[in-house]
Chains A and B, each alone.
Chain A
């Protein structure tokens, strides 16, 4: 085996990991509703399983002699498992979990994604540990070899990430991508096991032949119609009985078009977005006509998402001069044109309609003219990204873009019969937020609640008679609006009942940097599928920084006392430090991305760049340490310095992130802050990157490691991943929404402070 082959294999391992992760995440999101919690659970399972693979399975590396063979076997296993996992992620739900069309709750999502990811993630995690051992055998250096493998793996991840983000996703379906990755892994296995001379046939040769067979099979599947056939039949199973006529990925997500008789339904990542030619008339007419009729003379209208498929059609019934329609994903509109209906054709062909493919918030910020009405076509703040259109900062920005008398309109889930605690919190929070910005907020309660906010009292003063009069004057044909219907919908009794139902003691503002709305939406979503977890969500709602401080203080004190009694325990403080670094790093990176998109908008390539820079930071940090590892005498001191840097970075980050968005108007400041974001992302990655090789060196020198590379690599890599698992699971769902950006960063500083103190104790025990 040549060094170059092994290095190439390690790069492929890194690339394969990130590609498999992204492909499976996207596939699972289509099967299970894609929100922050689902993403968190899937990502967390991935990291947890990788941690299990690297630490538990990886441990066998010291006992086994045929390490290269096992490494190749793991590679082949990973290659075979990946396409199977893609297939399972499509068909699993309909076969085992639910009736066709049924969504599932947290527990089935957790369990099924765990088992679907299991073969892929565990084998990939174990590959890291085996890779470290093989590399150390080759290099004859233990500590630096783990660090180098870490660097190779990270560089591979960067390459894989860039490829899948900018190329593979758009042009290849998941089976093609999975088979491409499988082929690469099988191919490199051939070179790893390449016979070095004539010898008696043995297991290794058999495995070599098997690698060749696998490579050939994967390539045949990849380049023959077979992969398309599997792809198509698995889609039919995924959308059982629903006749999917189109299935395409864009960089933003998947769009599936279902045809049933004359009707086309467009699903975005498995969530229904548009029905044509006859939409939900009651909802669309309520949403559009009440808004248009509350305004005395609407001319310029902005629709942020969800406009096609009926809404624009209703708006165009008025003598408007301009309708700006913003949609993030051009693929959606492309498919609406492809599967055209008379409704969608006529509304999108109208010369008054201007379609913009960009981030809604970004558009509002950049818009040069003002609007009479701004419609937010998203159903609720389902994710951190969509929450940016429900935050006080956005409302404030939108307010500046409204003409005098202008109205902003949005919807939230509701009920005409009963307001549950989850609905109360979600609606109450957004109502508080609207009230904090606008002078007048009017609500029409329903199964979908309509919110209208304006600085003009004409909104509040409009009676049902005024609405009817305007409807008649403007000669607007509707299916729904009659005098008694308007009276019924605007009846005071109903509004009073609703307002009383959402009364709470405290005012909760949903802001960019404390996106409470996301948490309340997830809590509401959970109540649909897993009502037995509602109490847990209510408890989490009360989670405070002080509580985390208390828990961390007690935990640290307990660990310190135990380690003094049992010094052997202190050996695990290094993995603990890496665990906390993984945790903090995931959350801080999430915070950076989150802050970035609130300022610059959700621009896919920009976010891709930010993540790449972060990973480049990890690679650079590791590379820096690995190069100097032999020269670093006082590893403890260096490690403590990185720990302290992480504490300081966590504390300083919120100050750097909390930039008021209006400062970005000036180009110089815009560029400066942009560069600062990239720098922060790099530093965030680099600090953890610096730690990993250093930790391996220190750990290998201690008596706890038993001088075993496999054990050390598995344990430390597993700890890092396990930290990432917790950060991914808790970050977007609990910490950022409940504590907010600043307090989450402070909490991370405290988490890192605990590991700093324990490492200090560890150095004393070592001496």
Chain B
């Protein structure tokens, strides 16, 4: 029996190799974040048969043949090596408030250098930045900035952090990584606004140089992820746990889309999962949806739906729950979980007043979770 199994395995592995067919197990040379020959060479991929490569960055794990690109439109197989087409070519370099991310517990009220490159590894039908995320580099205008240029720009503008936002940072991983390393050396903080659709290994490699992560938990069902985003939920949940375990500051946004992910049971299930896996101190933002991109035949999210979601989250014990995209809403501000007094007063993206001293509530000294120091 043992002989039989061994012979079969042997034949299985040798025959394709001899006949020149794809065989990942024999000829694969895996790159896992080690030094690159060129800055734009991908950090996570493996060669399959000398010509095709398999990207190991996001859960899609695209097998890419010579001259072709992966699902994200950014990573190209050039003679058996995978290269990032967007390295050093950001389409947007901008300055904006951190509250816009939204990251409400990450040095509130500070301005950050925002950066992004073309394309995305998801296809969300309501994408707010579809002009960028649903295009490839060649469709867009872009700048040429080395990682150190970007950090210099942040320093020149006297900004405290660099933020990778607007489209999915994973798709310009190498560029993001190099910038973050330099930024951290220069004493700047880093944050990323992500969909969380990334494999564990690259994420673990990245987290040491990232201070804060906001992840869009777009819905709490595989069906929603599949139909609306062309992705899956499981890897996103894994990413959330990994970020939390690695003590990188984490906030979650759930855009509540009428009819698609606004079922109170789904929201309840999501909140319970957050409470059990990420803890009650993980901030959760329920944001209002407005018809956008391809989802134009829907109504905006009613305020009562957002408020119900808020209540569900609070009932599940979550301490920091927000209602977003509704300027003027009371729950856009931060309240102390202990004394219930307002410790950060916000008007949309603007911080009007902060009552936090050394990471504690100025009224009752309750320790508030977040990165507060300026």
Binding site for B on A (CB under 8 A): 33, 98-103, 240-242, 258, 260-263, 265, 267, 270-272, 275, 278, 280-282, 285, 415-420, 423, 447, 478-480, 482, 484-485, 488, 493, 497, 501, 528-529, 531, 534
Give A253 Cβ to nearest chain B Cβ, in Å: 15
Interface residues of B in 302-331 (CB under 8 A from A): 302-305, 325-328
Is B131 within 8 A of A417, CB to CB?
A: yes
Interface residues of B in 274-328 (CB under 8 A from A): 290-291, 293-300, 302-305, 325-328
Is A482 within 8 A of B326, CB to CB?
A: no
Give A425 Cβ to nearest chain B Cβ, in Å: 14
Q: Mark B82-100, 1 if CB is under 8 A from A, else 0.
A: 0000000001101111000
Give B268 Cβ to nearest chain A Cβ, in Å: 17
Q: How many angstroms between the C-alpha atoms of A643 and B139 in the bound complex?
A: 47
Is B298 within 8 A of A100, CB to CB?
A: yes
Q: How many angstroms between the C-alpha atoms of A647 and B303 in the bound complex?
A: 61
Residue B352 is within 8 A (CB to CB) of chain A in the complex: yes
Closest 8 CB pairs of A and B: A479-B328, A101-B298, A265-B299, A263-B302, A241-B259, A479-B327, A261-B302, A261-B304
Query: What are 10 A-B pairs with beta-carbon distances under 8 A?
Result: A99-B228, A99-B260, A100-B298, A101-B258, A102-B295, A103-B294, A267-B297, A278-B303, A281-B326, A417-B131
Q: How many angstroms between the C-alpha atoms of A519 and B326 in the bound complex?
A: 34
- Classify chain B: how many residues form its interface, as a range: 35 or more
Is A101 within 8 A of B259, CB to CB?
A: yes
Give B72 Cβ to nearest chain A Cβ, in Å: 16
Set of chain B residues within 8 Å of A261, measured between Cβ atoms: 302, 304-305
Given A99-B227, A281-B326, check contact A262 B304 (CB 8 Å). Answer: yes
Given A260-B258, A263-B299, A484-B350, check contact A272 B291 (CB 8 Å). Answer: yes
Given A101-B260, A480-B328, A485-B347, check contact A528 B302 (CB 8 Å). Answer: no
Is B135 within 8 A of A270, CB to CB?
A: no
| Contact partner, B350, options A101, A263, A485, A529, Cβ 8 Å | A485
| Contact partner, A418, options B96, B132, B294, B302, Cβ 8 Å | B132
Is A260 within 8 A of B305, CB to CB?
A: yes
| Contact partner, B302, options A260, A417, A485, A493, Cβ 8 Å | A260
Is A482 within 8 A of B327, CB to CB?
A: no
Q: How many angstroms between the C-alpha atoms of A270 and B299 in the bound complex?
A: 11
Set of chain B residues within 8 Å of A480, measured between Cβ atoms: 327-328, 347-348
Give B96 Cβ to nearest chain A Cβ, in Å: 8
If A101-B260, A263-B304, A418-B129 are given as contacts, then 4 extra A-B residue pairs at C-beta distance below 8 Å, sorted by A number, are A102-B295, A275-B300, A281-B328, A418-B91
| Contact partner, A270, options B96, B97, B297, Cβ 8 Å | B297
Interface residues of B in 141-199 (CB under 8 A from A): 141, 166
Is A528 within 8 A of B299, CB to CB?
A: no
Set of chain A residues within 8 Å of B325, measured between Cβ atoms: 282
Q: Which residue of B lies closest to A479 (CB)?
A: B328
Is B140 within 8 A of A418, CB to CB?
A: yes
Is A101 within 8 A of B95, CB to CB?
A: no
Is A482 within 8 A of B134, CB to CB?
A: no
Q: How many angstroms between the C-alpha atoms of A281 and B96 in the bound complex?
A: 20
Set of chain A residues within 8 Å of B347, measured between Cβ atoms: 479-480, 482, 485
Q: How many angstroms between the C-alpha atoms of A714 and B96 in the bound complex?
A: 65
| Contact partner, A242, options B129, B135, B258, Cβ 8 Å | B258
Given A100-B259, A281-B328, A285-B327, check contact A488 B296 (CB 8 Å). Answer: no
Give B14 Cβ to nearest chain A Cβ, in Å: 44
Residue in A285, A415, A423 with the greatest tally of chain B CB atoms within 10 Å? A415
Give B205 Cβ to nearest chain A Cβ, in Å: 27
Is A423 within 8 A of B327, CB to CB?
A: no
Set of chain B residues within 8 Å of A423, measured between Cβ atoms: 131
Interface residues of B in 349-373 (CB under 8 A from A): 349-350, 352
Is A102 within 8 A of B297, CB to CB?
A: yes
Set of chain A residues within 8 Å of B31, measured between Cβ atoms: none
Is A101 within 8 A of B296, CB to CB?
A: yes
Q: Which residue of B lies closest to A484 (CB)?
A: B350
Q: How many angstroms between the C-alpha atoms of A420 and B132 in the bound complex?
A: 8
Residue B116 is within 8 A (CB to CB) of chain A in the complex: yes
Residue B130 is within 8 A (CB to CB) of chain A in the complex: yes
Q: How many angstroms between the C-alpha atoms of A282 and B349 in the bound complex?
A: 11
Interface residues of B in 191-245 (CB under 8 A from A): 227-228
Given A99-B228, A101-B295, A262-B304, check contact A418 B92 (CB 8 Å). Answer: yes
Set of chain B residues within 8 Å of A484, measured between Cβ atoms: 350
Set of chain B residues within 8 Å of A280, measured between Cβ atoms: 290, 300
Residue B125 is within 8 A (CB to CB) of chain A in the complex: yes
Q: How many angstroms between the C-alpha atoms of A358 and B116 in the bound complex?
A: 46
Q: Which residue of A lies closest to B303 (CB)?
A: A278
Residue in A262, A488, A497 with the greatest tally of chain B CB atoms within 10 Å? A488
Give B289 Cβ to nearest chain A Cβ, in Å: 10
Set of chain B residues within 8 Å of A258, measured between Cβ atoms: 299
Give B123 Cβ to nearest chain A Cβ, in Å: 12
Set of chain A residues within 8 Å of B140, measured between Cβ atoms: 418, 420
Is A272 within 8 A of B299, CB to CB?
A: yes
Is B348 within 8 A of A33, CB to CB?
A: no
Q: How many angstroms between the C-alpha atoms of A99 and B34 in the bound complex?
A: 42
Is A417 within 8 A of B304, CB to CB?
A: no
Is B131 within 8 A of A263, CB to CB?
A: no
Q: Which residue of B lies closest to A285 (CB)?
A: B327
Q: Which residue of B lies closest to A280 (CB)?
A: B290
Give A182 Cβ to nearest chain B Cβ, in Å: 29
